[in-house]
Every structure is written in structure tokens, then in C-alpha cells.
Structure 1
């Protein structure tokens, strides 16, 4: 468990205004094994604050990313509605941006390749960045190139050194899970081509 020292995770202002205290909760999508059922489960405070400077609503305490994504239980391909939405998006954006075999699409938090598989059907080169190894393995088995990494400035620089620049950079349902927002967004700027496009989905807005 990490404490962010009561500073806003975006603008670093003092975090003082309580927004909603929902008590204690175990990690979402973190299921207990047979052995763990008889052990005390870890609970975490769901006490949200809002920054008075930038209005970002956030938890001042959060679990480390490694502990959340070490063995991730959510696979996007399990939801038919998610697959339909992904296909509709890909069909639209490929036509709108004129993407083809000479383009490069990079998805951050690409999960099991549920979305990138449709770009591949269009013949567009893809790369997924996914921190959960068990989920990324499913994407690789589908033929979706996937790097098992957390994304930020360091990862972006590594990819650029390897010749990877994104003509389309996308991230769906990811920003709410990012502990260091500024590092994540700065990395996006590094890997994006000068004329590239970023699309981000926020399911909670």
C-alpha cells in the first residue's frame, strides 16, 4: 500500500477536501483462492477526495500497480458488447484516419487483444502495452504483438529507440488505474508521431 502524502496526483496541490467516504473494500477483480478463503482478506479505504485546484477526484491511498496487475482477472473479450464496440470503433477510425499497412497503432492497457485484433484484420500493424502478464499471454496467442510493461516515459523512450512511433495511440478504461498520471501522459507525447492521433475513453464520464 502506498500513500501519496496527501498531494494531488495530478497538480501536486494539498489534498484536503473529502468527496465521498465509501468505507473499506477489497480489491476489485481480485478473487480468493481456495487456500485464501480461510484467511483474512485485505481491505482498502474507498475514501475519495477532490483537489480544490484541478478538481481531480482521487483516492489518497492506493495499492501498488504490481499487486493489482500481477494476476489480473478481467478479460475484455468476455463481454460481447465490448467486442462490438471495439469493432465499430476500429472500422470508423481506420476509415477516418486512412490507416493501412504503413501505419502503426499502439494501445496502452491492451488487455487480451480484444480491440487490436480488429486493426489486424484491416492489415494495420499493431502493438499492445499490457502490464498483466496472464492477460497479455492471451493476446500473444491471438497473434497480437504485446509488451508486458507498465507505460510511462521510460517505456515510451524504449519503444522509440526500437523504432516504434504511434500514428494512432489509444487507451480505453486505463487512466483511472494509473498512479502517476503525469508520467503516463508525458510518455504518450514521446511515442506519438508529430501528426499522430490520440483517442482515450473514460467509461465513468
Structure 2
């Protein structure tokens, strides 16, 4: 299987119209509105990624960078594989391409994600997927004030010697900063 990754740093409405069904199917709760995603790209704080199997769109992601340039990390805000394409290795292949892109283009030190922490079969499957991709799950469970779901941070160290010296709270500082920038009206 060969997937092709395309990455966009500017909003492309035609592309978004193709991506939207994958995004809305995968993120029923907690999805950022389209106008916020567009503003994130317009302000240069996020990237929109598409995964193609030939000419068929099968995957999408929204990512951003956190931390100072010399030690920046990739935050995966959203990543999804089209429902009818799951279970075929495309999720891992797409993630590997995202990781490689971030290493090559931005010299990242780690990849950070947050996953729902509630103990359900679906959430356990997500965490197992990320762990199979090499991520380390942290113990800290984060409670956002504006949504009821709880989240756990996972990290994939890229640079040797990268250590998380707490239970994951420091990762949530980066995730929270990224979310705060996402909702700001002006570039900061």
C-alpha cells in the first residue's frame, strides 16, 4: 500500500470540502468549527494534511508546532482515516508520513497527541493504536473546563534522551497553549 501525503499551510476550500466528511465522521464531539480551522491556517499556526490512495482521499490530519524552534514538537490536533478504510494499516502508514514530514521539515523533538481518557472500548482501541505507533501513554488525566471529556497525553520521542519528568502535565501545557492560540483572534 502506498499513501501519498500532501500538506497545506494555506486554507484550500475545495480540499476542505473533500476532507470535511472524514473529519465530521471521526470527530462527532469536540471538533473545532471550520472557521477556527481556517483561521489557524490563515494565521500560520497549523497545517492541513491529506492522505491519498491513488486519487482517493482516505486520511486527514490537522497539526501544529509547539515550543521554541530549537526544541519544537509536533502536536497532532486531529487525525482520521475514512471509516471504510480502517483496519488496513493506512492509519499507521499515514502517521509515519506525518512524523517523517515533521522531522524533515521542522526538525521536531517529539510528537504529542491527546486521547480521550474515559475507559471505553473505543478509547482503549485508540490508545493501543498510538502505542503501536511508538507513543508512550502518560498517567495524568486532564480535565478541560469547557468540555466534559477527560484526556490523556501520549508522546513519541524523536530525539534521543528526550525525557518526560512528570506524569504528562508538561505535555498538556504545550497542548493547551496550542489550543489557546487556535481560538485567538489575532496572530500571537
TM-score by length of 1: 0.29
The structure with more strand, counted as a fraction of residues: 2
Name which structure has the greater RCO, CA cutoff 8 Å, separation 6+: 2
Over alpha carbons, which structure has the higher Rg? Answer: 1
The structure with more helix, counted as a fraction of residues: 2
